[in-house]
């Protein structure tokens, strides 16, 4: 059973979030109304995940994140963002937050986000030791329009990422989440055209469109191509779908709103990866994450 700490100065939000988690997941949830109390909980109980609001008095969510990253780098931290906190949320994601959930989409996104992180954490806790000895790998996948295949390939590649020095284990989870976001975009927004009706349909509508289209032409003939190059220096992923693409000229990599109406995929990719580049058609993306160099570099 997963142990989760929810940190928010608003009682109504703590109650809502705790209820959503315990209704859908086998988990034990504790709450704290400020960052200092949360750190005391973490020191005493070592939770599996911390969910924290960004805007709190005394110690805000960014300061709490920085303390957790310094003292407990293995613990994933999920931000809960409200409108108007986009800039500080983007800074926190760059500083090492594992993921985020917009408060106005809590009911749609919270449980699925936590599920992904729990699955990723369990995957990296029992890694093949052989992956520590991996020097270089280049592999190619052609995926059907099957969400289950996305989870499987991400788990496989996340294990291989153990050869790439990323600072701490939680960074492997972050890279895996960014990769999963890119593949999900290729499936739903690319091959399945679920964004035709609106930029970000709710989850129920997205799944309804998927069920209608996955075995019908032209959608059933489309595939996702994934090339993964992993070494001790970098990880490079090239993902291409057979959809119609999108207009990439409107993208602003320097400020990717975490509350964008286009969804969470692009913000996760831009804040976690070192480089995100789309082709002109908008149906291929290249993601790169470099190794973290710690300490002085000597010849």
Looking at the structure, tell me whether residues 113 and 138 fall in a common domain: no
Q: How many domains does the chain have?
A: 2
Distance separating alpha carbons of residues 187 and 165, to the nearest angstrom: 30
256-265: pLDDT as tens digits:
555 555 567 8
Looking at the structure, tell me whether residues 85 and 157 fall in a common domain: no
Contacts of residue 251, Cβ cutoff 8 Å, sequence gap at least 6? 266, 278
**CATH number of the domain enclosing 41:** 3.40.50.2300
Sign of the CA dihedral with 73 first, then 117, 10, and 263 last: positive
> What is the chain's Cα-based Rg?
19
Residue 193 lies in a domain: yes
147-161: pLDDT as tens digits:
989 989 998 999 899
Looking at the structure, tell me whether residues 104 and 15 fall in a common domain: yes
Domain that holds residue 50: 2-122
Looking at the structure, tell me whether residues 84 and 193 fall in a common domain: no
Cβ-in-10-Å burial (0-12, 13-18, 19+) of 173 comes to buried
Question: Global pTM?
Answer: 0.84
CA distances from 140 to 137, 183, 227 (A): 10, 14, 4
Q: Which pair of structure tokens corresponds to residue 27? A: 């988990």
User: At which of 94, 122, 150 does a domain end?
Assistant: 122
Looking at the structure, tell me whether residues 134 and 275 fall in a common domain: yes
Predicted local confidence at residue 298, as pLDDT? 41
**With bands split at pLDDT 50, 70 and 90, how would you rate the model's confidence at 9?**
very high
Q: Which pair of structure tokens corresponds to residue 119? A: 């699955």
Residue bearing the bigger pLDDT, 224 or 259: 224
Q: Which pair of structure tokens corresponds to residue 279? A: 């082709």
Residue bearing the bigger pLDDT, 207 or 165: 165
User: At which of 122, 141, 164 does a domain end?
Assistant: 122
Looking at the structure, tell me whether residues 100 and 149 fall in a common domain: no
46-102: pLDDT as tens digits:
999 999 998 898 898 999 999 999 999 889 999 998 876 777 778 888 889 999 888
**CATH number of the domain enclosing 262:** 3.30.565.10
Looking at the structure, tell me whether residues 77 and 138 fall in a common domain: no
Contacts of residue 185, Cβ cutoff 8 Å, sequence gap at least 6? 263, 265, 266, 285
Residue 45 lies in a domain: yes
Residue 118, φ and ψ in degrees, nearest 5: -60, -45
User: At which of 122, 151, 180 does a domain end?
Assistant: 122
Looking at the structure, tell me whether residues 26 and 63 fall in a common domain: yes
Q: Residues 223-252, buried b or exposed e (16+ Cβ, 10 A)? A: ebebebebeeeebbbbbbbbbebbeeeeee
Looking at the structure, tell me whether residues 103 and 231 fall in a common domain: no
Looking at the structure, tell me whether residues 221 and 284 fall in a common domain: yes
Residue 297 lies in a domain: no
Looking at the structure, tell me whether residues 207 and 274 fall in a common domain: yes
Distance separating alpha carbons of residues 248 and 260, to the nearest angstrom: 15
Distance separating alpha carbons of residues 192 and 150, to the nearest angstrom: 15
Calculate what percentage of the chain has a pLDDT beyond 90.
59
Residue 225 lies in a domain: yes
Is a pLDDT exceeding 80 seen at residue 200?
A: no
Residue 298 lies in a domain: no
Quick check: 21 and 114 in contact, CB under 8 A? yes
Residue 266 lies in a domain: yes
Residue 214 lies in a domain: yes
227-259: pLDDT as tens digits:
999 999 999 999 999 999 988 877 766 555 555
Looking at the structure, tell me whether residues 256 and 171 fall in a common domain: yes
Q: Compute the CA torsion angle 141, 143, 147, 148 (nearest 10 deg).
A: -60
Residue bearing the bigger pLDDT, 178 or 267: 178
Residue 296 lies in a domain: no
């Amino acid at each position: 059973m997963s142990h989760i700490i929810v940190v928010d100065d608003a009682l109504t939000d703590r109650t809502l979030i705790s209820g959503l988690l315990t209704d859908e997941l086998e988990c034990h949830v504790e709450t704290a109304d400020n960052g200092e109390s949360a750190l005391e909980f973490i020191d005493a109980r070592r939770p599996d995940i911390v969910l924290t609001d960004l805007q709190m008095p005394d110690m805000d969510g960014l300061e709490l994140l920085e303390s957790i990253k310094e003292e407990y780098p293995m613990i994933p931290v999920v931000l809960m963002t409200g409108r108007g906190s986009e800039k500080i949320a983007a800074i926190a994601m760059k500083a090492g937050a594992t993921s985020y959930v917009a408060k106005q989409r809590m009911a749609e996104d919270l449980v699925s986000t936590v599920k992904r992180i729990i699955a990723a954490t369990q995957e990296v806790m029992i890694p093949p030791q052989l992956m520590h000895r991996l020097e270089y790998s280049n592999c190619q996948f052609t995926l059907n329009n099957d969400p289950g295949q996305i989870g499987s390939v991400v788990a496989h590649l996340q294990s291989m990422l153990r050869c790439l020095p990323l600072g701490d284990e939680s960074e492997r989870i972050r890279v895996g989440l960014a990769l999963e976001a890119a593949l999900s975009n290729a499936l739903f927004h690319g091959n399945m055209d679920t964004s035709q009706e609106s930029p970000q349909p709710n989850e129920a509508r997205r799944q309804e469109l998927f069920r209608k289209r996955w075995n019908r032409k032209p959608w059933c003939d489309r595939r996702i191509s994934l090339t993964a190059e992993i070494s001790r220096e970098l990880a490079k992923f090239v993902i291409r779908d057979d959809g119609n693409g999108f207009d990439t000229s409107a993208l602003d990599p320097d400020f990717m709103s975490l509350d964008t109406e286009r969804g969470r995929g692009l913000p996760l990719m831009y804040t976690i990866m070192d480089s995100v580049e789309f082709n002109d058609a908008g149906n291929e993306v290249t993601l790169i994450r470099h190794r973290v160099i710690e300490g002085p570099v000597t010849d």
